[in-house]
Amino acid sequence: MQIDTSSPVMITGATGYVAGWIVKDLLEAGVTVHAPVRDPDNADKLQYLNRIAESAPGAIKYFKADLLSEGSYADAMAGCSIVFHTASPFRIEVADPQKELVDPALLGTRNVLEEANRTPSVQRVVLTSSCVAIYGDSADLEKTPNGVFTEEIWNTTSSIDHQPYSFSKTVAEKEAWKMAGAQDRWKLVVINPSLVLGPGINPHGTSGSFDLVRQLGDGALKAGVPDLRIGAVDVRDLSRAHIAAAYLSDAEGRHIVSGHNTTFLEMAGTLLGKYGKDYPIPRRTMPKWLIWLVAPMVSKGMTRKIVSRNIGHPWTADNSKSKRALGVTYRPLKESMTDFFQQMIDSGAFREG
């Protein structure tokens, strides 16, 4: 694959977990990266990207922008051939799902793509959607034609009241396809990752991925994990998928980017050999009835409907298009988990206080 370094590219959410590796790979390929961020003066947050840029052939330029501020991406996008739109909050625990999830996802996508419509240099937009724009609950698998989630399928079961994060990603991706279809200068290519794992460029990342894996080592799930079956992908493999979606001329449509059909218990199990003696890694699943009983008390985001429709249900996605069309290769789950967990230990995530 030929990476064109002759024109800059723009990436939203550059400070985030997923985008960090995309920026790194672009900088190392010699690309000039325009990074619109909410606070370009936050040296603390930008230090990780700056360190990479110092020794890479590419360059990074920061701009001030916000998903909810119309027109704020104009300066950053000017002259760019490719736009990566990754910015969107990934959080399960929210007080106001409309304000905290749906507005930034939907209005943000509209804002960025309206800017693409006004920017003649833009030829391609790569959108980071999610597997949760394909399914809402694991129970949705029962309604799929062959018992497998594919790119043909859309999430029809999430709403503002039930799985609002999944709803936010679904409405945002739908809006992107609608806007892409209403013009013919830029092409939309969509990446639909499953749960992202692996070390972050910023070891103190705030993505939901960090919360989840931290809980496997901080004792929160010592008594057992929910029997949740999910997909998982390494953040480094996911970056390669985004780069291929941007630079392969034939890339088109949606792509499930998910290395493994797995379970929380299997994810925890990959850590037992190396860390099981020193950390309270979960070794069993909790009974579904018990989770059903306590869930609403333990977490606002874990309703009984979510428990009923997800725990103990199978989950299988077909990642063959990502391999065939984007040439993605997936590293072993154990490598992603170990590298991620070790980074958390090294950065003090499990220290008291």
The minimum distance between CB 229 and ligand NAP, in angstroms, equals 15
Contact 308, 157 (CB under 8 A): no
HSE (side-chain half, CA atoms, 13 Å) at 327: 10
Nearer to ligand NAP, 102 or 221 (CB): 102
Q: Which residue is nearest to ligand NAP (CB)?
A: 16
The answer to whether residue 169 is catalytic is: yes
Nearer to ligand NAP, 141 or 241 (CB): 241
Give CA–CA dist 191/224, Å, rounded: 32
Q: Which of 61, 169, 174, 321 is catalytic?
A: 169
The minimum distance between CB 16 and ligand NAP, in angstroms, equals 2
Q: Is 99 exposed, middle or buried (0-12, 13-18, 19+ CB in 10 A)?
A: exposed
Contact 215, 221 (CB under 8 A): yes
| Alpha carbon 31 to chain centroid, angstroms | 22
In the numeric block, which tokens belong to residue 178?
Answer: 């609608």
The minimum distance between CB 91 and ligand NAP, in angstroms, equals 7
Contact 208, 139 (CB under 8 A): no
Nearer to ligand NAP, 93 or 278 (CB): 93
Give CA–CA dist 325/244, Å, rounded: 9
CA distances from residue 108 to 57, 89, 95, 243, 347 in whole angstroms, order as listed: 31, 11, 19, 22, 32
Binding site for ligand NAP (CB under 6 A): 13, 15-18, 37-38, 66-68, 86-90, 104, 128, 130, 169, 193, 195-196, 205-209
Give CA–CA dist 194/216, Å, rounded: 18
Dihedral sign from CA coordinates of 325, 328, 329, 334: negative
CA distances from residue 169 to 234, 299, 327 in whole angstroms, order as listed: 20, 21, 25
Nearer to ligand NAP, 15 or 158 (CB): 15
The minimum distance between CB 323 and ligand NAP, in angstroms, equals 18
Nearer to ligand NAP, 15 or 322 (CB): 15
Give the 3-state secondary structure of residue 19: helix
The minimum distance between CB 2 and ligand NAP, in angstroms, equals 26
The minimum distance between CB 205 and ligand NAP, in angstroms, equals 5
Closest to 232 measured CA to CA, from 265, 275, 272: 265
Tell me the residue length of the chain. Answer: 353
Other Cβ atoms within 10 Å of 95 Cβ, number: 7
Nearer to ligand NAP, 198 or 250 (CB): 198
Q: Which residues participate in catalysis according to the annotation?
A: 169
